[in-house]
Amino acid sequence: MKRTYATLAAAALLGISGALVPAATVHADGPGPGTADYNLSANTSVTSGQKFFEAAQGNSAATAKSTAQFTVEGGTLQLIAVPDLNFGQIPLTTIVSSGDKALENNLVSSADTDATSKNVTAFDGNSSGKLIVNDLRGITGGWTLSTTLGTQFTSKTAGAPALTGITLSLAATGTNQVNGTVSLEGNGIGASPVDVATATGADQGKGATTWDVNTAANASLKFPGQSAYIPASAIYQSDITWTLTAGA
**DSSP assignments along 45-105, one per residue:** ---TT--B----TTSPPP--------------EEEEEEE--B-----HHHHHH-EEEE--B
At 29, is the pLDDT very low, low, confident or very high (cuts 50, 70, 90)? very low
Q: pLDDT tens digits for 202-215? A: 678 999 999 999 99
Question: Is the same domain home to 99 and 64?
Answer: no
Q: Between residues 143 and 26, which one has the greater pLDDT?
A: 143
User: For residue range 80-125, what is the model confidence (pLDDT) as tens digits?
Assistant: 999 999 999 999 999 999 999 999 999 999 999 999 999 999 999 9
Q: Give the confidence band of 21 by pLDDT, cuts at 50, 70, 90.
A: very low
Same domain, 127 and 213: yes
Give me the count of residues in the chain.
248
The answer to whether the CB of 242 falls within 8 A of the CB of 193 is no
Q: Give the number of other Cβ atoms within 10 Å of residue 191's Cβ.
A: 12
Pick from 69, 98, 126: which residue ends a domain? 69
Residue 85 CA to residue 131 CA, distance in Å, equals: 11
Q: Quick one: 212 and 242 in the same domain? A: yes
Same domain, 91 and 109: yes
Same domain, 106 and 221: yes
Same domain? For 122 and 166 the reply is yes
d(CA 222, CA 130): 22
| Residue at which a domain ends, from 52, 69, 86 | 69
Q: Are residues 101 and 60 part of one domain? A: no
Both 138 and 180 in a single domain? yes
Last residue of a domain, one of 69, 95, 123: 69
Distance CA 204, CA 180 (A): 8
Report how many domains make up the chain. Answer: 2
State pTM to two decimals: 0.80
What percent of the chain has pLDDT above 70? 82
Whole-angstrom CA distances from 25 to 8, 84, 197, 206 are 6, 76, 67, 54
Q: Please check whether residues 102 and 182 belong to one and the same domain.
A: yes
Residue ranges making up the domain that contains 24: 1-69
Quote the pLDDT of residue 8: 36
